[in-house]
Structure 1
């Protein structure tokens, strides 16, 4: 996906999240994030948007420290102002990304063609996953994620987050998970062992294969959808290992 397309999808997803939140009580529990109420989800996502915009806007070479994060976030809004506060931060992030030069130099933390591509992509998927969370809090089915967007999110998760040394996804016995969208050409093989996972594109023999529409696999591997929603062939305990150890957390 090209950067303008990433930014356009981010714009759409943030608006959908805000509109969903506006029609839902802020104390509604978020089933996909059991420790959160909707207000926690909005506050977190709004803070992430402001944090991301600060790095792009300032061309920061290092991540914000704790004081810099608090300055970027500003004071937490009252409940009555929370949705509008979210909209303001989201709109600013979209504007900052849309105006940033292609040769932007700033800190980033996952492989990407450029820092600008990283931030546009990361904020698109951060916002999309949390939009799904907001819809879960509202009690509505998730709005479908376009196959190209979902496949891009799978690529970011599998080739960016999963191979990092800090991941807890480990297995005493090496095992391989195949991820095969049925509506896209892309596929991946994730080998899990005692060291950090190894991920490579393509198909091949696997201990467990998950297949289905890219939208469903995207939500499955972000732990927003149960395994019954996709086709699972082979060792289902590998999916349970994923569910309990492959979560991405803010730190």
Structure 2
């Protein structure tokens, strides 16, 4: 996906998140984030937006420290002001990414074609996943991700988040998961073993096969779609999906 497409997705998903929060009691539980109420979700995402915008705007060469985090977040808003506070931070992030130069030089936390490409993509999917959470708190499913964006999100999750040595997704013996989008070219072969997992953009027989629309694979792999809904077809060792759901957690 192009950088502009990621920024457009960020704009759309942030607006949907704010709209869901505006029509829902902020004390509502977030079923997809069991320890959170909706206010926690909105506060978290608003803080992430301010952190990302400051990193890009100021061209920070390294992660900011706790003191600077607090300075850019400011005082925690009251519930009455929380959604508008979120909207302001979201708009500032969209504007910052739109205005950033193509040769932006700043810190990122995994490889990407450029720092600008990294931040646009990461914030688009950060916001989209939490928009799904906000809709869950509101009791609605909300709009589906389009296939290209959903495949891109699966690719980011598998190709960047899941593969570092610190990942908790391990198995005593090597086993494989084949993930295949039924509405696009996305094909990923995930190998899980004692060592860090590996991901190939390939299609081969595997211990577990997951097949479905990209939008549902996106939800399932981000642990936002309960197993057994029938929206993703599974064949093979279902215990591998349980392993993923228990250990593939983004902190």
Normalization by structure 1: what TM-score?
Answer: 0.98
Tell me how far apart the structure 2 counterparts of residues 147 and 19 of structure 1 sit (CA, whole Å).
23
1:67 is aligned to 67
2:56 is aligned to 56
> Where in structure 2 are the equivalents of 1:140-151 lying within 5 Å?
140-151=140-151
Tell me how far apart the structure 2 counterparts of residues 184 and 137 of structure 1 sit (CA, whole Å).
30
Structure 1: which 5+ residue stretches go unaligned?
A: none
Tell me how far apart the structure 1 counterparts of residues 73 and 136 of structure 2 sit (CA, whole Å).
25
Superposed CA offset, 1:64-113 (max 9, x none)? 11111111111110000000000000000000000000000000012211
User: Is 103-112 or 91-100 further displaced after alignment?
Assistant: 103-112
**RMSD (Å), alpha carbons:** 0.6
Question: Following TM superposition, by how much is the alpha carbon of 1:226 offset from its aligned partner in structure 2, in angstroms?
Answer: 1.6
2:30 is aligned to 30
Structure 2: which 5+ residue stretches go unaligned?
A: none
2:134 is aligned to 134
Superposed CA offset, 1:210-246 (max 9, x none)? 0100000000000000222310010000000000000
Q: Does 1:105 align with 2:111?
A: no
Question: Following TM superposition, by how much is the alpha carbon of 1:141 offset from its aligned partner in structure 2, in angstroms?
Answer: 1.5
SS of residue in 2 equivalent to 1:179: strand
Question: Following TM superposition, by how much is the alpha carbon of 1:142 offset from its aligned partner in structure 2, in angstroms?
Answer: 3.3
Tell me how far apart the structure 2 counterparts of residues 186 and 243 of structure 1 sit (CA, whole Å).
21
Count residues in correspondence: 249
2:238 is aligned to 236
Runs (4 or more) in structure 1 with deviation over 2 Å come to none
Tell me how far apart the structure 2 counterparts of residues 135 and 52 of structure 1 sit (CA, whole Å).
23
Tell me how far apart the structure 2 counterparts of residues 175 and 193 of structure 1 sit (CA, whole Å).
6
2:182 is aligned to 182
Normalization by structure 2: what TM-score?
Answer: 0.98
